[in-house]
């Protein structure tokens, strides 16, 4: 493969995961589980795992459900086939982030997928995963997130979910009034956990040992649930992966983004309610216009409070989650948190996701933006600390490493610090494995995903993330990361010491993994008082 592989090709390959297990019909009686909505039929796949795909956990959000909180799924009679992926959330097909063309898009998208070793009375740990994609793209149905390997190897139940995205899930307005949240996608994820609590025992899972986790935007949802009262009691462990700076879109930006949406639609500012009845395609077109402006935003604050993400709505979120965490309001649950070591280093993946990435990381532009955020003196101190630690890196790579830490590593550290003040609550990790694939170079954002799920075993996935079929060392690393996730789900503990402010023990996942006390302390301390 070459670097000419398009983002669309990447998502098609990863979405299909053509070497993933397939259903084997007729080999045994089709497994049936009884849920609160009705009975569902799954199938045993070629990995020997029972899989249910496209199981609805809430009602359709089309029509009267648009821009409203999720509602209970209507019941059905008979047995419902759940053998194929359900509809995914509406999202733009712009060839950069891409649309998963093999999946149907619909506002009736609130469904989940389940992989379980067996439908029996064994109360297995449950791992619920929330996908990333900047709150505007992605799906829990991707083959990248196939739960077969994890479920079979570690005797756990794996669940992946779909939630509303973009203008449908995180609208910068409250069309139905101030009592209706603007964080509908977050409410969808909470509704999925409510469904799991009520139903997962029918799939061989333990509703009292639920680990919720997510990556990127999903990691932000995972961490944010720790400060949202509605999520209390729905899970017992959390693993936010590569969460970004936990802020919200403030009211002023919401007004600006809403005005941009209405302008793109040619609708007067006083006619916001017309959005409830517009075709899905029209809203997606307007979303694409506003999102493109957000990607090109010059203001660094606009870059971290982009259109269609977590919103300050005074219902679900009345303050930035990072502020609530800093005040000690994060839930009392064991939490494993971390990121990759080169999340925002320039790579084909970065440039395809955001064509302005290279220009933003140019030293003069980058430093000007950072000065606007943290001041000239602090910016000079940051640049000096990183130049000392990485004397041989180019300026553009140094800017990528600083961005990685500002937006990913340090927010993870802050959460670990908050939990680490209490015994037995926090564990930390970093992923330093460096891929050589056509899209993912180095320890880039999302390089860790196929390791957590074990899907590097599938050649199409390995080709994109690794650049070659997985080696024994890479498969060993994947096995370690899967074991970590399953062990944490089972016991609420990792296999290395807890994160405490005194020692800051951190697992460094790589081809030769190790546990390190306070990795890179100078570049951690330089952010004190800046990143909350």
Q: Catalytic positions, please?
A: 216, 343, 445
Which pairing describes strands 435-436 and 505-509: parallel, antiparallel, or unpaired? unpaired
Nearest to 182 by CA among 270, 257, 278: 257
Please name the helix (run of DSSP H) or strand (run of DSSP E) that holds residue 295, with its range, or none: helix 280-295
Specify whether the CB–CB gap between 82 and 112 falls below 8 A: no
- Residue by residue, DSSP assigns 206-221 as EEEEEEEEEETHHHHH
Specify whether the CB–CB gap between 97 and 133 falls below 8 A: yes
Q: What is the DSSP letter of 518?
A: S
Tokens representing 460 are 């199409």
Q: Count the alpha carbons within 13 Å of 475 in the hemisphere toward its beta carbon.
A: 10
Contacts of 112 (CB under 8 A, 6+ apart): 55, 57, 140, 159, 160, 161, 162, 192, 195
Question: How many angstroms separate the CA atoms of 335 and 416, rounded?
Answer: 8
Tell me the CA distances in angstroms from 400 to 99, 134, 168, 345, 349, one per residue in order: 27, 18, 32, 4, 13
**3-class DSSP assignment, residue 128:** strand
Tell me the CA distances in angstroms from 344 to 131, 337, 348, 414, 517, one per residue in order: 18, 18, 11, 19, 24
**3-class DSSP assignment, residue 97:** coil
Contacts of 119 (CB under 8 A, 6+ apart): 31, 32, 33, 50, 202, 203, 204
State the alpha helices, DSSP H only, in 421-517.
449-453, 459-465, 472-491
Tokens representing 189 are 């994820």
State the alpha helices, DSSP H only, in 296-428.
300-304, 321-326, 348-353, 357-361, 363-374, 376-389, 395-404, 410-420
Residue 524's CB is within 10 A of a number of other CB atoms, namely 16
Question: How many angstroms separate the CA atoms of 407 and 413, rounded?
Answer: 11
């Amino acid at each position: 493969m070459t670097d000419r592989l398009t983002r669309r090709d990447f998502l098609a390959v990863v979405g299909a995961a053509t070497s993933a297990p397939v259903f084997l019909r007729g080999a045994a009686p089709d497994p049936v589980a009884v849920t609160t909505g009705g009975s569902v039929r799954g199938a045993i796949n070629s990995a020997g795992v029972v899989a249910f795909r496209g199981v609805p956990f809430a009602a359709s959000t089309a029509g009267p459900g648009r821009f409203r909180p999720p509602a209970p799924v209507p019941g059905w009679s008979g047995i419902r086939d759940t053998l194929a992926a359900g509809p995914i959330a509406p999202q733009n097909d712009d060839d950069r982030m891409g649309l998963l063309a093999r999946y149907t898009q619909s506002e009736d998208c609130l469904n989940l997928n389940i992989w379980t070793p067996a439908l029996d009375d064994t109360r297995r740990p449950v791992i619920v995963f929330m996908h990333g994609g900047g709150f505007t793209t992605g799906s829990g149905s991707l083959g990248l997130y196939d739960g077969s390997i994890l479920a079979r190897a570690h005797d756990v139940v794996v669940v992946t979910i779909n939630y509303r995205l973009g203008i449908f899930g995180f609208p910068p307005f409250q069309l139905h009034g101030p009592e209706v949240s603007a964080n509908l996608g977050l409410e969808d994820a909470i509704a999925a956990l409510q469904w799991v609590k009520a139903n997962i025992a029918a799939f061989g899972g333990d509703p009292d040992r639920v680990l919720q986790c997510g990556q990127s935007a999903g990691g932000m949802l995972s961490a944010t649930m720790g400060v949202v009262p509605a999520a209390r009691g729905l899970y017992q462990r959390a693993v936010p992966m590569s969460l970004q700076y936990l802020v919200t879109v403030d009211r002023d930006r919401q007004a600006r983004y809403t005005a941009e949406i209405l302008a793109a639609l040619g609708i007067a500012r006083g006619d916001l309610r017309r959005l409830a009845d517009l075709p899905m395609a029209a809203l997606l077109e307007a979303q694409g216009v506003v999102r493109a402006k957000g990607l090109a935003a010059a203001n660094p604050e606009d870059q971290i409070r982009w259109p269609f993400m977590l919103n300050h709505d005074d219902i679900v979120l009345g303050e930035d989650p990072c502020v609530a965490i800093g005040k000690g309001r994060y839930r009392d649950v064991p939490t494993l948190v971390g990121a990759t070591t080169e999340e925002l280093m320039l790579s084909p993946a970065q440039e395809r996701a955001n064509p302005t990435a290279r220009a933003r990381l140019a030293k003069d532009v980058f430093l000007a933006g950072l000065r606007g955020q943290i001041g000239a003196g602090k910016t000079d101190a940051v640049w000096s600390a990183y130049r000392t630690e990485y004397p041989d890196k180019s300026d553009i790579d140094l800017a990528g490493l600083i961005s990685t830490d500002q937006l990913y590593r340090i927010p993870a550290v802050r959460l670990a610090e908050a939990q680490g003040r209490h015994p037995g609550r926090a564990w930390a990790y970093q992923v330093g494995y460096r891929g050589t694939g056509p899209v993912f170079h180095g320890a880039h954002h999302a390089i860790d995903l196929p390791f957590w799920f074990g899907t590097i075993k599938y050649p199409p996935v390995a080709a994109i993330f690794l650049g070659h079929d997985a080696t024994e060392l890479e498969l060993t690393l994947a096995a370690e990361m899967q074991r970590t996730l399953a062990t944490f789900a089972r016991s609420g503990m990792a296999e290395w010491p807890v994160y405490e402010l005194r020692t800051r023990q951190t697992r460094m996942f790589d081809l030769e993994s190790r546990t390190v006390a306070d990795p890179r302390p100078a570049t951690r301390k330089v952010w004190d008082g800046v990143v909350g």
